[in-house]
Amino acid sequence: SITEHSPTAEHSPTKKHELTFCDTGTLQSPIDINVATCKTKDFPPVTFLDDILFNSEIQYENNCETVKITLIDKTLKPKVQGGALAPGSTYIVDNIHFHWGTKNTEGCEHTIAGKKFPMEAHMVLYKNTSKDFEDALHKKEVAVLGFMFILQAHPNEALHAMVANVTEILQPHTTFKTSGKSLVFLKDYIGSGFYTYTGSLTTHGCAEGVLWTIFKKDIPIGKTQLIIFHDVIGEDAEELQNWRAIKPYNNREVYQSTF
Ligand code: GRE
Ligand code: ZN
């Protein structure tokens, strides 16, 4: 079961949704990854076991909290394995969503040796022994793959399709159905080196027991491409910013891959 702590209203000036109840435990996310004290472990790379995510119809949604990407056919289960994920287990992709800010100097949730990035994507996975994401949350079988974006002057052609799809959902509570091809760029990053630790969701109760993987290879994003995310409109015409500030390390170990 989920480690439960008495929830308190956590007030962060940077994230509107922290005004709602969140966990106050000792395994919260995000953290600043202390690269200097990371222990190294001989992990295999993370891999996609199939191309279901890229060959199927997907939906981009502006739910007024984030841009959330899901498969339209809920019976399709894209599979991921490796890395720090439980050996011998496969994990199913539940959704991909993004965290960003209101300016180019912030927006990521995790920081690496104190360094901030303008955006972070989360690929949310659940172990195939769970029925769905909610079931996995209770069983502590949720894992999240985090991809950091780094700003560059010129657009990244590999992100063109994804960004074009986001322009279709700038208005609050809108959806756009399209091909999973727009996510193919992720294949170039999922096999990179990574950091891993145990933390929490960063919204919606911030339940603990989530296995985090943060890839070391940043995804370049052009300034005009990041503007599209900054232009996503929230409830009541609000400018969205949806990153949670870093939380204490406490006694946690963060491991890194040998590569
Ligand atoms: C979020 O809401 O931001 C979130 C999830 C599930 C896993 C990680 C995460 O809903 O950050
Ligand atoms: Zn997230």
Residue type present at position 128: N
Residues 158-167 have pLDDT tens digits of 999 999 999 9
Cα–Cα dist 201/134, whole Å: 12
Question: What tokens does 1 get?
Answer: 């079961």
- What's the sign of the alpha-carbon dihedral 174, 176, 180, 184? negative
HSE-up (13 A, CA, CB side) for residue 89: 16
Q: Is the dihedral of CA 102, 104, 106, 108 positive or negative?
A: positive
Q: Is 144 in the pocket of ligand 1 (CB under 6 A)?
A: yes
pLDDT beyond 70 at 141: yes
For residue 172, how many other CB atoms are within 10 A of its CB? Answer: 16
Please count the other Cβ atoms lying within 10 Å of the Cβ belonging to residue 235: 12
Q: Which residues pair with 83 in a beta bridge?
A: none
Q: Is the pLDDT of residue 256 over 80?
A: yes
Q: Which of 124, 140, 142 to mutate to test the pocket of ligand 1 (most atoms within 8 A of CB)?
A: 124
Tell me the one-letter amino acid at 215.
F
Q: Whose alpha carbon is nearest atom 5 of ligand 1?
A: 201
pLDDT tens, residue by residue, 147-158: 999 999 999 999
Helices (H) and strands (E) in the chain, counts: 4, 17
Q: Tell me if 97 sits within 8 A of 121, measured CB to CB.
A: yes
Would you place residue 21 in the very low, low, confident or very high pLDDT band (cuts 50, 70, 90)? low
- Which ligand is the nearest neighbour of the Cα of 202? 1
Helix (H, G, I), strand (E, B) or coil at 177: strand
Of residues 59, 12, 25, 40, the one with CA closest to residue 183: 59
CA-atom Rg of the chain in angstroms: 17
Which tokens sit at 69?
Answer: 């990407």
Using CA atoms, how far residue 146 sits from 43, 125, 197, 206, 253, in Å, is 17, 11, 12, 16, 18
Question: What is the CA(147)–ligand 1 centre distance, in A?
Answer: 13
Ligand 1 atom 9: residue of nearest CA: 201
pLDDT at 218 over 50: yes
Phi, psi of 147 (to 5 degrees): -115, 125
For residue range 23-82, what is the model confidence (pLDDT) as tens digits?
A: 679 999 999 999 999 999 999 999 999 999 999 999 999 999 999 999 999 999 999 999
DSSP string computed for 133-159: HHHHHHHT-EEEEEEEEEEESS--GGG
Strand partners, 152: 222
Which band of pLDDT confidence, cut at 50, 70 and 90, is reported for residue 237? very high
Q: Letter for the amino acid at 91?
A: Y
pLDDT at 17: 52
